[in-house]
Amino acid sequence: MPEITAHHGLFKDTKLHVDDTGGSGRPIVLIHGWPLSGASWNHQVPALVDAGYRVITYDRRGFGRSDKPKTGYDYDHLAEDLHTIVTELDLDDVTLVGFSMGGGEVARWFSKYGAERLHSVVFASAVPPYLLQGSDNPDGPLPKTQAAEMTAGLTKDEDAFYDDFITQFFSVDGELKVSEADRQEALALARQASKIAALGAMASFANTDFRDDLTKVTVPTLVIHGDGDGVVPSKAPVPARTRRSPAPSSTSSRSPARRHRQPRRRMEPCRPGVPCHLGAADSDRDLRAVRCRGQPSGRW
């Protein structure tokens, strides 16, 4: 599909690579995690298309096949990029699915645009409400020392950092839960990222406080987080904040635990998780929370 250009003032246009399955189905926009690209959703797109949806993926600025500017990796710019895609494609009644870092764009959307054009949202192993641990956020799962170590590691040696990070990405309790081919596939996507973008985006997802953004959520919301997630631990899950939002109600269920990874296997439309939420949200305006235990997060 042709690239979409996000405009951020004079001489600051950024071309974003977008893939759109087209069709007449209700649109779903899948927002990838760090440091991957829209191609990381390739295993999920066919199932959603088979279920009747129009599916849009894109590469965040600085990652994958999108332009790699030196600036613009804060969540205000990233949410504006997402909004540009939605408006340029003239999408309405949209479901936004934010995985990991992508949950930040979903949260920031509500502060910048309210419920404009939205049908529902999904936070999957997402960074909100606030990762960085501090006196005002004692439950934050990311200590400042660890954040500094990550920044230093990526700055010093990209290849070594990504090799270790992608292994953790697919692991539960130190055990790799995917094949080496799957790990190498993700590693290849990570290596497409600009180093400037990777460092800028890392600073954003670590330091951005989404607690106020989440109080503005007003559409049906599904939260999925694995208790086995070692990359974005579920110590301070999104539901604790979204329950304070104007969303009409909240329900919660538990299923076996998972790693930090969007699903690898084909999603069946009637299995618990995203496909069921997409259908249920048509008539049931609530907030749903799925806490996952035991299995790797290759399934929803």
Two tokens at 143?
Answer: 């200590």
- Give domain status of residue 103, yes or no: yes
- Give domain status of residue 70, yes or no: yes
- Give domain status of residue 265, yes or no: yes
| Mean pLDDT, range 15-34, rounded to an integer | 97
Looking at residue 9, its pLDDT comes to 59
Number of folded domains that form the chain: 1
CATH, residue 198: 3.40.50.1820
| Mean pLDDT, range 243-247, rounded to an integer | 50
Question: Is the Cβ–Cβ distance between 4 and 16 less than 8 Å?
Answer: yes
pLDDT digits (tens, 9 = 90+) for 208-231: 999 999 999 999 999 987 776 666
pLDDT digits (tens, 9 = 90+) for 99-135: 999 999 999 999 999 999 999 999 998 999 999 999 9
**% the chain with pLDDT above 90:** 66
- Give domain status of residue 150, yes or no: yes
How many angstroms separate the CA atoms of 300 and 297, rounded?
Answer: 7
Which range, 50-59, 247-256, 279-288, is most confident? 50-59
Closest CA to 137 of 212, 224, 48, 69: 212
Question: Is the Cβ–Cβ distance between 57 and 32 less than 8 Å?
Answer: yes
- Expressed as residue numbers, the domain containing 161 is 4-293
- Give domain status of residue 38, yes or no: yes
Two tokens at 266?
Answer: 């084909």
The secondary structure element, H or E, covering residue 16 is: strand 14-16
Distance of CA 219 to the CA centre of its chain: 17
pLDDT digits (tens, 9 = 90+) for 261-272: 554 443 333 334
Whole-model pTM: value is 0.85
pLDDT digits (tens, 9 = 90+) for 139-195: 899 999 999 999 999 999 999 999 999 998 888 888 898 999 999 999 999 999 999
Span of 95-109, 187-201, 246-260 with lowest mean pLDDT:
246-260
- Give domain status of residue 299, yes or no: no
pLDDT grade for 92, boundaries at 50, 70 and 90 = very high
Closest CA to 291 of 216, 220, 240, 218: 240
Map tokens 């839960």 to a residue: 177
Two tokens at 37?
Answer: 């690209």
Span of 31-35, 104-108, 111-115, 284-288 with lowest mean pLDDT:
284-288
Question: Is the Cβ–Cβ distance between 81 and 60 less than 8 Å?
Answer: yes
- Give domain status of residue 298, yes or no: no
How many angstroms separate the CA atoms of 172 and 178, rounded?
Answer: 10
- Give domain status of residue 300, yes or no: no
Beta bridge partners of 96: 29, 121
